[in-house]
Amino acid sequence: MKKLAEVTGFPCVPAEDLIEATSDCGAYVMVHGALKRLAVKMSKICNDLRLLSSGPRAGLNEINLPELQAGSSIMPAKVNPVVPEVVNQVCFKVIGNDTTVTMAAEAGQLQLNVMEPVIGQAMFESVHILTNACYNLLEKCINVTNGITANKEVCEGYVYNSIGIVTYLNPFIGHHNGDIVGKICAETGKSVREVVLERGLLTEAELDDIFSVQNLMHPAYKAKRYTDESEQ
């Protein structure tokens, strides 16, 4: 243990109960569970990056990822989100290794577990590939010059062309009016702003104030009083 501590730089100590440690590999399951949790979170982040950067015409196109690999083997001019895709696959491997560690720990019999070699292999592999994945995601996708950028106009268009923003107007125009506005928008293809103005529910100045970026971050910051009878 002293030599192992010198090599690793960690305060390695023997198990308190050597008999129990010979058969029970629960500690490995717990440690690798933390790696699995990290892998799940990282994979979810990469899923978000891939979805938000999809497009430019048939996807969300809300953000741009660094273009690290020109083109696609199938579609000309297509640029794939290669770093998030690689990290996704690394995370899948780590999650698979977690199943390996779990089943190997379960496979012990009586006072012995002979499956520790595959547990060790899976754990060291997971630590190694997950470390590299974190580094690549940070250095080649996030923390780079001209890294992730937002398509501001596209994002604003999604907000202001969404019928869902009528919900944000409920404190200002009332739920009943909001219901009417939403239905008209769905039937005519008009924006919420257009319909609200046509029906005289709010003025241009009021809508500009309500839909300012700052106020969108603080919903119903100063709701007006309304006299819609259906709201009584």
Bridge partner residues of 64 (DSSP)? 149
What is the three-class DSSP state of 29?
helix
Q: Which pair of tokens denotes residue 4?
A: 């192992």
Q: Catalytic residue among 72, 126, 191, 212, which?
A: 72
> What is the Cα gyration radius of the chain?
28
- What distances in angstroms separate CA 53 from CA 47, 90, 93, 105, one per listed residue? 10, 20, 24, 40
Going by C-alpha positions, the residue among 92, 90, 94, 98 that lies closest to residue 29 is 98
Is 23 one of the catalytic residues? Answer: no
Determine the Cα–Cα distance for residues 166 and 192; give it in Å rounded to an integer. Answer: 6
- List, by residue number, the catalytic residues: 72
